[in-house]
Amino acid sequence: MVLSNFPSWESSEPSGLRGFRAELQAEVISIMKELADLRERSEQVMCSVASLYNTVDRKVAKVYQRLLTAQAHDSRVVVGHSNHRTQWLKGLKQAKKHVIIVNPWITRRGIDAEMAQAMTDCLQRGVSISLGWGYQRDIGNLIKLGNGCWSFSTPNPWQYNAINELQKLRKTYPDRFSLKLIGTHAKVFLCEEFALIGSCNVLCSKPRQSDDSREEIGLITTDRGDITTVTDWFDKAPNLIARKPNTNVKCQ
């Protein structure tokens, strides 16, 4: 038998089988492309999710930081004349840039050697001090207003007998120490670290030797919003002796 006479196994496939094979191959290629597309989209989604997590983490971190900052602000009650004065002296020692003091009356009893030295030391460190003074009911009565000046209706009234010492500070430190006649009943001490608002006339009187815890009370706060509010209140308070244009009023 001659082998060449047997039918070949490598003979051509029927046309229907070849078509089925081609269709199957095309479908496989199409599925592989779809899988590749799905893989690429899944990678993009994973990147987007990772970016979203990073954004959320940053926002959560900011919120957490704000909460920590808010918790750092505290307020507490200050009781007694002695504690008020101690806080004022402490603030003058701690201040780095600016101090605001408001007290209606300014006497030598309140601005004694210790308080005057604390103010001087503060000014010598380069810190500016703005002092608001003058009781509102004294304006126009005990304190007479002129155009850019003021005078007392009675010589050297006890309520303001430390004014000369403060005027000396203003002359010595003209760019750092300022007096602002605002007509007020407020008692305020403010520096960068805290604001103390209370009933105590620190610049008018000294603490008694006996317990004075029921005489005066105030609130001290380190909240930045409160400090800004008090600063704005003082800045917006008009200076009652500011010079007015086109007036013929003269100082005595």
Residues 78-111 pLDDT 10s: 999 999 999 999 999 999 999 999 999 999 999 9
Asked if pLDDT for residue 11 goes beyond 60, the answer is no
pLDDT tens-digit profile of 195-221? 999 999 999 998 877 656 678 999 999
Amino acid at 185: H
> At residue 76, does pLDDT exceed 70?
yes
Do the beta carbons of residue 195 and residue 188 sit within 8 Å?
Answer: yes
The pLDDT assigned to 37 comes to 83
Query: DSSP 3-state assignment of 186?
Result: coil
CATH superfamily name and code, 73-236: Endonuclease Chain A (3.30.870.10)
CB 160 within 8 A of CB 105: yes
Spatial contact of 182 and 134, defined as CB atoms under 8 Å apart: yes
Q: What pLDDT is attached to residue 71?
A: 52
Which has more confidence, 236 or 68? 236
pLDDT band at 3 (very low <50, low <70, confident <90, very high): very low
Q: Is 189 left (phi over 0), alpha (psi -120 to 50) or beta?
A: beta
The answer to whether residue 64 scores a pLDDT higher than 70 is: no
**What pLDDT score was predicted for residue 57?**
66
In terms of Cβ atoms closer than 10 Å to its own Cβ (0-12, 13-18, 19+), residue 246 is exposed
pLDDT over 90 (residue 74): no
The average confidence (pLDDT) of the chain is 85
Residue 189 and residue 219 in contact, taking contact as beta carbons nearer than 8 Å: no
d(CA 133, CA 160): 9
Residue 147 has what pLDDT?
Answer: 82
- 242 with 150: CB under 8 angstroms? no
Domain boundaries, the chain: 15-72, 73-236
Comparing CA positions, the residue from 26, 241, 53, 63 lying closest to residue 143 is 241
Least confident of 31-45, 140-154, 156-170: 31-45
